[in-house]
C-alpha cells in the first residue's frame, strides 16, 4: 500500500476519525493521510479498545478492520451500531478478505461502506469525506425537522392559547352579563346567596355547596346557607377571618382543593373539620380589605375534581358575589339601625321591658342555635323581637308596610312575613323545612314568654304558659330546645348577677 499525495482540504472543525487496526503500519499510514487533510486522528489496536474509544471519544467516523484481537471487527461494528449514543456515526469496514460473504456480513452488521485491502488512502479519504458530508446533511436535515416541529408546536400552543383566551373571554362575558349582572343588581343578601350557590353548583357539578358568612365584619364565618342538603351537614364548621386558614385563603384569592392545603402545617388544627364534612373545594369570597365569606363544595357528582376552567369561573363568580354581599350587608345593617332607632322613638321602651326583651332574645337564640336554624332566620327573630310586640296596632308595623315595596334588601318583606306567620303558627308540615315554620313558632312563644314575665311569672312558669299557648303547633324537638335554652340562660344570668 503506497501513500499517494493528497490535496489538502480542511474538514469541518473538530471532526475526528477513529482508526481501528492491529497492523501498526496501516495505522501510521492512515494517521498521516487523515492528519494531512486536517482530521483529528484517534487509534485503537483491538476490538475492546475500539469500543471504549468510540464510547468515550465520540469520533465523527470509524475506520474498522475486520480481523482484530479480542473482538472481531464485525462484532465491534454491530455493538457500536446498537449501543453508541449517536447511532448515525458512519463506519467504514476494511478487510483483506474480498469474498462477497464478508462484504454482505459487514453491511448486515451496520457498516456504511466496505473497502478491500489493499486500498488507496486517497480513495479512503474520499469515501470518508463523502460519508461525513452525507452524515452532516442528514443531521442538518434532522435538525431542521426538529426545529420545524418545535416551531409547529409553538404555533399550535399559541393557537391553543389564543383559542383558550377567546373561550375565557367569552365565558367571563357570559358570566358578567348573566349571573354577575344579576348579583350586582341585587341588594337582597339572601337572593345574592341563592344565586351564588346555584351558579356555583352548576359550574362545579357538585351535589352540595354551602356558604360560610357573617354579615358583620370581624365575626367568625359560620354556615349561612346551603344547596343540595341542609345546613346540618356543616353545622360545626367555622372559620375565623384572621385565623391561619382565613388569612391563607384571603391571601390566595382563588378557589383551592382541600388536599392542596395539607402541606401547610399551620392548618392542621382547622382542616380536619373540612375533611370530616367531605369538603373538597374551598373558594374564598373576597370583600373590601377582608375575607367576606367562604364557599365550600363536595366533589363532583362524577367523582372527579373541578377542571381549571371551572375553577377560574368560580373565582370570578366569588369575586362578583363578594362585592355584592358586602354592599347588601352594609345597606341591610343601615336599615336595621334606622328601624331600631325609629322603633325606640315611636314606642319608648322602659328599662324593665328592655331587660325582658334581652332575656327573651337570649332564650330564642339558644333554642334556634340548638335547632340548627339558619343565621338569617335567627337574625329576623331577634330583630322582630326588638322592633315591637307584634300587635296589629303596633306603629312600627305601619312603617314596615309603607317600606315593603321600596326595600331592595328584602329585609322588610321577610320581617312582615315572619310577623304574619307568628300570629297563628300552623301545625308543622312534614314536607316543610324547619326554617319555614319554626321561626314564627319561636317568635310567638318568645313574645308570650316575655308577656308572662311581665306579669310576674318566673322563668319556668312563663315558658310553660307560652308553650301551652302554642298548643299542638309546638313539636317535641322545639320544646326540648326551649327547655335546654331556659336552663342555659338562667345559669348564665345567675353567674352574671
Residue among 333, 335, 331, 337 at smallest CA distance from 187: 331
Give percent above pLDDT 70 in the chain: 89
pLDDT tier, 481 (very low <50, low <70, confident <90, very high otherwise)? very high
Match 490535496 to its residue by C-alpha cell.
7
Task: Give the range with max mean pLDDT: 1-5, 285-289, 290-294, 392-396.
Answer: 290-294
Strand spans (E) along 107-239: 113-116, 209-213, 222-227
pTM for this model (two decimals) = 0.58
Residue 7: is its pLDDT beyond 50? no
SS3 338: helix
User: Which residues fall within 8 angstroms of residue 63, CB to CB, at 6 or more apart?
Assistant: 17, 18, 19, 20, 21, 30, 92, 94, 124, 128
Distances (CA, A) of 118 to 104, 107, 139, 310: 19, 19, 32, 75
Q: What is the mean pLDDT of residues 352-364?
A: 90
Q: Where are the beta strands (DSSP E) in 272-395?
A: 281-287, 290-297
* Contact partners, residue 301, CB within 8 Å, separation at least 6: 205, 206, 207
Give the helix/strand (H/E) hosting 64.
strand 61-65
What is the Cα–Cα distance from 281 to 227, expressed in whole angstroms? 15
- Tracing cell 382542616 back to the chain, one arrives at 271
Instruction: List, in sequence order, the alpha helices (H) in 216-307.
Output: 244-252, 271-276
The whole-number pLDDT of residue 64 equals 93
CA-CA distances (angstroms) from residue 393 to 242, 248, 346, 347, 398? 46, 52, 12, 12, 8
For the chain, the domains span: 16-142, 187-328, 347-496
Highest mean pLDDT among 96-100, 380-384, 398-402: 380-384
Alpha carbon distance 344, 332 (integer Å): 18
Fold for domain 16-142?
Rossmann fold (3.40.50)
Fold held by 187-328: Beta-Lactamase (3.30.450)
Would you state the pLDDT for residue 396? Answer: 85
Amino acid at each position: 500500500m503506497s501513500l499517494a499525495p493528497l490535496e489538502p482540504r480542511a474538514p469541518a472543525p473538530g471532526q475526528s476519525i477513529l482508526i481501528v487496526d492491529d497492523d501498526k503500519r496501516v495505522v501510521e499510514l492512515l494517521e498521516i493521510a487523515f492528519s494531512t487533510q486536517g482530521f483529528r486522528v484517534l487509534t485503537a489496536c483491538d476490538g475492546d479498545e475500539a469500543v471504549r474509544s468510540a464510547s468515550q471519544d465520540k469520533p465523527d467516523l470509524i475506520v474498522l478492520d475486520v480481523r482484530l484481537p479480542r473482538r472481531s471487527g464485525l462484532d465491534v461494528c454491530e455493538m457500536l451500531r446498537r449501543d453508541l449514543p449517536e447511532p448515525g456515526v458512519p463506519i467504514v469496514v476494511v478487510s483483506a478478505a474480498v469474498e462477497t460473504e464478508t462484504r454482505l456480513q459487514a453491511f448486515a452488521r451496520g457498516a456504511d461502506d466496505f473497502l478491500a485491502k489493499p486500498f488507496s488512502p486517497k480513495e479512503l479519504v474520499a469515501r470518508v469525506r463523502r460519508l461525513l458530508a452525507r452524515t452532516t446533511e442528514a443531521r442538518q436535515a434532522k435538525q431542521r425537522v426538529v426545529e420545524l416541529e418545535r416551531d409547529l408546536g409553538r404555533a399550535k400552543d399559541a393557537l391553543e392559547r389564543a383559542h383558550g383566551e377567546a373561550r375565557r373571554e367569552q365565558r367571563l362575558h357570559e358570566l358578567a352579563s348573566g349571573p354577575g349582572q344579576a348579583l350586582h343588581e341585587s341588594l337582597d343578601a339572601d337572593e345574592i346567596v341563592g344565586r351564588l350557590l346555584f351558579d356555583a353548583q352548576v359550574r362545579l357539578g357538585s351535589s352540595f355547596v354551602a356558604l360560610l358568612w357573617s354579615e358583620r365584619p370581624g365575626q367568625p364565618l359560620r354556615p349561612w346557607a346551603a344547596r343540595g342538603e341542609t345546613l346540618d351537614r356543616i353545622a360545626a364548621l367555622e372559620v375565623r377571618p384572621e385565623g391561619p386558614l382565613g388569612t391563607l385563603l384571603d391571601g390566595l384569592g382563588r378557589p383551592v382543593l382541600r388536599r392542596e392545603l395539607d402541606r401547610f402545617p399551620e392548618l392542621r388544627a382547622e382542616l380536619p373539620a373540612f375533611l370530616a364534612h367531605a369538603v373538597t373545594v374551598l373558594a374564598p369570597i373576597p370583600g373590601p380589605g377582608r375575607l367576606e365569606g367562604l364557599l365550600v363544595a363536595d366533589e363532583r357528582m362524577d367523582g372527579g375534581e373541578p377542571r381549571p376552567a371551572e375553577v377560574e369561573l368560580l373565582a370570578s363568580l366569588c369575586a362578583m358575589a363578594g362585592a355584592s354581599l358586602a354592599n347588601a350587608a352594609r345597606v341591610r345593617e343601615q336599615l336595621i339601625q334606622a328601624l331600631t332607632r325609629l322603633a325606640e322613638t315611636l314606642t319608648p321602651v322602659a328599662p324593665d321591658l328592655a331587660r325582658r326583651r334581652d332575656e327573651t332574645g337570649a332564650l330564642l337564640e339558644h333554642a334556634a342555635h340548638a335547632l340548627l336554624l339558619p343565621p338569617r332566620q335567627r337574625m329576623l327573630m331577634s330583630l322582630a323581637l326588638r322592633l315591637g310586640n307584634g300587635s296589629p296596632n303596633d306603629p312600627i308595623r305601619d312603617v314596615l308596610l309603607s317600606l315593603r315595596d321600596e326595600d331592595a334588601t328584602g329585609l322588610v318583606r321577610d320581617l312582615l312575613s315572619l310577623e304574619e306567620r307568628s300570629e297563628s303558627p300552623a301545625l308543622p308540615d312534614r314536607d316543610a323545612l324547619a326554617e319555614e315554620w319554626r321561626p314564627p313558632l319561636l317568635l310567638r312563644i318568645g313574645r308570650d314568654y316575655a308577656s308572662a314575665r311581665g306579669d310576674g311569672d318566673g322563668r319556668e312558669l312563663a315558658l310553660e304558659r307560652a308553650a301551652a299557648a302554642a298548643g299542638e303547633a309546638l313539636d317535641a324537638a322545639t320544646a326540648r330546645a326551649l327547655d335546654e335554652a331556659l336552663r342555659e340562660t338562667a345559669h348564665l344570668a345567675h353567674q352574671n348577677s
